[in-house]
């Protein structure tokens, strides 16, 4: 009897050892049970470990549930598995899979919003990236509670949705992304930067509004502080901004902009039209980048009140209307007369009105 029991015990031990060795091999062997080039697995918030294991097995990421449970126990990571969407694109061991989820290495992709875009333009990028309909982004951009502290008068988030490249999960919704973009804005526009703007007589909304105009006027880093100083100098002497991008923005809001700015458009009745209304427009006209915001809080110490495009991406600045008209004659009138440009500009307006805008000065 004792001999028989000993044999049975040996058989059980050998069987357990065989099972253990098999599980060990399975745990250490990279596995891939899905057919495509990659596989996505979503771990929902609050999902239990058994359910997580089932999803990974059903997706072909881990061979079987027993292997998952054993490796999870050995890793001690049962309490550390994080929610999110995970992408698997190669054979992985069960331990590697579990470690990936415990580290929270959710799949992310880049979505880029260039500087100088409006909310509707940003919404098209959101939709093109496959995140959701453009309308959902526009709706999320109406959540003014996100900027209540910095701008209690905001009616939408124009100017406060910071342009940048964001690494986000592919299923990120509009509200989440907009909150992230506003949060990025808050890290860029620091308290010290707001204090510098305040010393110029600008509150947060006025700073961002001015920065949005600078953003639309020039892409040259060395010109941004000069453009900002032109508008601030005009404010000081009560001179109109006459900034063409503000007119374009007004027309866009009214659904009347077709890509061309005409002389008659300068009389379009909108508070955003800085040819008709003095001072800064009532709010930002686009999303300014960091450089334009900093340039607006730290403008150049210059006494220019005019600038005009040289048609090469740069601008000529002037202190007097006579100097400005000479620049217009040189860089706009003669330029277009010589046939070096294939499109019409606003050089006539510039010479007559002394405007500073991109069209008003031929920029």
Taking the C-alpha atoms of residue 313 and residue 133, their distance in angstroms, rounded to an integer, is 35
The last residue of one of the domains, among 163, 188, 213, is 188
pLDDT at 19: 60
Q: Do both 117 and 98 map to the same domain?
A: no
Q: Which domain holds residue 145?
A: 109-188
- Residue 97, domain CATH: 3.30.1490.480
- Asked if 356 contacts 230 with a C-beta cutoff of 8 angstroms, the reply is yes
Q: Do both 230 and 324 map to the same domain?
A: yes
Q: Do both 210 and 346 map to the same domain?
A: yes
Q: Hey, what's the torsion of the CAs at 136, 213, 259, 328, to 10 degrees? A: -170
The helix/strand/coil state of 153 is coil
pLDDT at 23: 64
- Asked if 215 contacts 238 with a C-beta cutoff of 8 angstroms, the reply is no
Let me know if residue 17 belongs to a domain. Answer: no
Let me know if residue 1 belongs to a domain. Answer: no
Using alpha carbons, select from 177, 185, 28, 48 the residue that is nearest to residue 96: 28
And the tokens for 361? 């000065």
Let me know if residue 7 belongs to a domain. Answer: no
Let me know if residue 77 belongs to a domain. Answer: yes
Let me know if residue 318 belongs to a domain. Answer: yes
Going residue by residue through the chain (363 aa), what tens digit of pLDDT does each one get?
A: 666 666 566 555 555 555 666 666 677 899 999 999 999 999 999 999 999 999 999 999 999 999 999 999 989 999 999 999 999 999 999 999 999 999 999 999 999 999 999 999 999 999 999 999 999 999 999 999 999 999 999 999 999 999 999 999 988 999 999 999 999 999 999 999 999 999 999 999 999 999 999 999 999 999 999 999 999 999 999 999 999 999 999 999 999 999 999 999 999 999 999 999 999 999 999 999 999 999 999 999 999 999 999 988 899 999 999 999 999 999 988 877 776 654 333 333 333 334 554 444 433
Q: Do both 98 and 120 map to the same domain?
A: no
Q: Do both 97 and 126 map to the same domain?
A: no
Q: Residue 36, class by beta-carbon neighbours within 10 Å (0-12 exposed, 13-18 middle, 19+ buried)?
A: exposed
- Residue 300, Cα to own-chain centre: how many angstroms? 28
The last residue of one of the domains, among 153, 188, 223, is 188
Between the alpha carbon of residue 134 and those of residues 115, 141, 156, 264, 363, the distances in Å are: 18, 11, 16, 31, 31
Let me know if residue 212 belongs to a domain. Answer: yes
pLDDT at 276: 95
Q: Do both 152 and 278 map to the same domain?
A: no
Number of domains in the chain: 3
Let me know if residue 362 belongs to a domain. Answer: no
Q: Do both 222 and 317 map to the same domain?
A: yes
Q: Do both 231 and 144 map to the same domain?
A: no
pLDDT digits (tens, 9 = 90+) for 23-62: 666 778 999 999 999 999 999 999 999 999 999 999 999 9
Q: Do both 230 and 338 map to the same domain?
A: yes
Q: Do both 52 and 167 map to the same domain?
A: no
pLDDT at 349: 35
- Asked if 118 contacts 140 with a C-beta cutoff of 8 angstroms, the reply is no
Let me know if residue 225 belongs to a domain. Answer: yes
And the tokens for 25? 């091999």
pLDDT at 363: 38
The last residue of one of the domains, among 84, 102, 120, is 102
Q: Do both 345 and 242 map to the same domain?
A: yes
Q: Do both 211 and 138 map to the same domain?
A: no
And the tokens for 194? 């707001």
pLDDT at 52: 97
pLDDT at 351: 33
And the tokens for 44? 């929902």
The helix/strand/coil state of 85 is strand
For 223-237, what is the HEC assignment? Answer: CHHHHHHHHHHHHHH
Q: Which residues contact residue 54 at a Cβ distance below 8 angstroms, ignoring those fewer than 6 apart? A: 65
pLDDT digits (tens, 9 = 90+) for 178-231: 999 999 999 999 999 999 999 999 999 999 999 999 999 999 999 999 999 999
Q: Residue 358, class by beta-carbon neighbours within 10 Å (0-12 exposed, 13-18 middle, 19+ buried)?
A: buried
């Amino acid at each position: 009897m004792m001999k028989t029991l000993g044999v049975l015990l040996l058989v059980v031990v050998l069987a357990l050892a065989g099972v253990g060795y098999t599980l060990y091999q399975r745990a250490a062997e990279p596995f891939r049970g899905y057919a495509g080039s990659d596989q996505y697995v979503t771990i929902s918030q609050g999902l239990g470990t058994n359910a997580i294991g089932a999803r990974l097995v059903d997706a072909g990421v881990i061979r079987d549930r027993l292997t998952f449970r054993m490796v999870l126990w050995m890793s001690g990571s049962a309490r550390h598995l994080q929610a999110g969407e995970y992408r698997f694109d190669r054979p992985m061991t069960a331990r590697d899979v579990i470690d990936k989820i415990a580290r929270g290495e959710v799949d992310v992709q880049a979505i880029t919003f260039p500087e100088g875009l409006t909310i509707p333009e940003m919404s098209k990028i959101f939709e093109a990236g496959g995140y959701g309909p453009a309308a959902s982004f526009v709706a999320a951009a109406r959540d003014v509670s996100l900027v209540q502290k910095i701008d209690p008068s905001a009616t939408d988030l124009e100017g406060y949705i910071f342009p940048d490249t964001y690494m986000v999960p592919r299923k990120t919704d509009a509200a989440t992304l907009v909150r992230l973009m506003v949060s990025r804005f808050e890290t860029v526009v620091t308290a010290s930067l707001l204090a510098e703007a305040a010393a110029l007589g600008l509150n947060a909304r006025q700073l961002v509004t001015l920065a949005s105009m600078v953003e639309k006027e020039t892409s040259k880093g060395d010109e941004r502080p000069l453009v900002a100083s032109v508008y601030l100098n005009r404010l000081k002497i009560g001179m109109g901004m006459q900034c063409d991008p503000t007119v374009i923005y007004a027309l866009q809001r009214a659904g009347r902009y077709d890509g061309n700015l005409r002389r008659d458009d300068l009389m379009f009745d909108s508070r955003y039209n800085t040819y008709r209304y003095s001072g800064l427009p009532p709010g930002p006209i686009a999303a300014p980048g960091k450089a334009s915001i900093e340039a607006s809080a730290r403008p150049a110490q210059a006494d220019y009140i005019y600038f005009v495009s040289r048609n090469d991406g740069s601008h000529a600045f002037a202190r007097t209307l006579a100097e400005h008209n000479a620049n217009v004659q040189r860089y706009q009138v003669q330029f277009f007369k010589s046939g070096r440009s294939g499109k019409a500009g606003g050089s006539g307006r510039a010479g007559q009105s002394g405007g500073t805008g991109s069209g008003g000065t031929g920029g």
